[in-house]
A and B are shown apart, each in its own frame.
Chain A
Amino acid sequence: MAIDAYIILSAVLFSMGVLGVLLKRNAILVFMSVELMLNASNLALVAFARQWGGLEGHLFVFFVITVAAAEVAVGLALIVAIFRTKQSINIDELHQMEG
């Protein structure tokens, strides 16, 4: 089965995620971009798993999904904490430390 199309799509999604992290200033949008990168990886893993016919790729996807959920839970909690202190989640305003 030709999986090239899926790999190309996942590469495009991954690049969009990278650009999003680098260009977006709102912390939530940055998170969403990171999720896009992880899901691009998931797409590639599932496509490769289909190609090889093994279960390792699917297994990896399960772990990526759950770990991403744990990561997002921590990240959102951090955002709430920062919003309470600073009333803003713009990551450009995170510059208490310079040097």
Chain B
Amino acid sequence: MTNVLNEWAFIGVFFLLAPLLPSLPIAIAALISPRKPNAIKQATYECGLETVGDTWVQFKVQYYVFGLIFLVFDVEMVFLFPWALAYQQLDFFAFAAGLLFIFLLTDALFYAWGKNALEWS
């Protein structure tokens, strides 16, 4: 228990020091800089345009379908890494088991393809 805590002590020190570094210059600047506010300085963006309309822009749901398909396939890869790492020691049957898994993934990919989920329309 104490060993573990000692190992993490550096991280604790880091967490204490880290906020100091950026906040110090900001605090110094706030203390010594002159204050002369005017309308332009107070604007949200000193240069650039004021926003018009609702900032909650809805973007195309297409991104979404891609995102979901990517998410699932991406995470399934976790099963292939051990298979690939142990590849040299596998007999034919274990190799075929991995192939079966890839077949199932392809099955799902074909389904997504067949449903036009991969088309950007």
The answer to whether A and B touch directly, with their CB atoms under 8 angstroms apart, is yes
- Which residues does A use to contact B, with CB under 8 Å? 2, 4-5, 62, 65-66, 69-70, 72-73, 76-77, 80
Q: Which residues on B sit within 8 Å (CB–CB) of A76? A: 64, 68
Q: Is the CB of A4 within 8 A of B1?
A: yes
Give bound CA distance, A65 to B71, whole Å: 11
Q: Is the CB of B64 within 8 A of A69?
A: no
Q: Smallest CB-CB separation from A76: which chain B residue? A: B68
B78 close to chain A: CB less than 8 A:
yes
- Quote the shortest CB–CB distance from B112 to chain A (angstroms): 12
Give bound CA distance, A67 to B17, whole Å: 39
Give bound CA distance, A65 to B78, whole Å: 9
Q: Is the CB of B79 within 8 A of A62?
A: yes
- Which residues does B use to contact A, with CB under 8 Å? 1, 3-5, 61, 64, 68, 71-72, 74-76, 78-79
Q: Is the CB of A62 within 8 A of B68?
A: no
Q: Which residues on A sit within 8 Å (CB–CB) of B71? A: 69, 72-73
From known contacts A2-B1, A4-B1, infer whether A80 and B72 are also in contact, taking CB-CB under 8 Å.
Answer: no
From known contacts A2-B4, A4-B1, infer whether A70 and B79 are also in contact, taking CB-CB under 8 Å.
Answer: no
Give bound CA distance, A5 to B75, whole Å: 28
Q: Is the CB of A5 within 8 A of B68?
A: no
Question: Out of B1, B61, B64, B79, which one reaches A66, CB within 8 Å?
Answer: B79
Question: Out of A2, A66, A77, which one reaches B68, CB within 8 Å?
Answer: A77
Q: Is the CB of B76 within 8 A of A66?
A: yes
Q: Is the CB of B78 within 8 A of A66?
A: yes
Give bound CA distance, A62 to B101, whole Å: 15
Question: Out of B3, B5, B75, which one reaches A69, CB within 8 Å?
Answer: B75
- Quote the shortest CB–CB distance from B48 to chain A (angstroms): 30
From known contacts A62-B78, A80-B64, infer whether A69 and B72 are also in contact, taking CB-CB under 8 Å.
Answer: yes
Q: Is the CB of B75 within 8 A of A66?
A: yes
Of the A-B pairs whose beta carbons lie under 8 Å apart in the complex, a sample of 26, sorted by A's number, is A2-B1, A2-B3, A2-B4, A5-B1, A5-B4, A5-B5, A62-B78, A65-B75, A65-B78, A66-B75, A66-B78, A66-B79, A69-B71, A69-B72, A69-B74, A69-B75, A69-B76, A70-B72, A72-B71, A73-B68, A73-B71, A73-B72, A76-B64, A77-B64, A77-B68, A80-B61
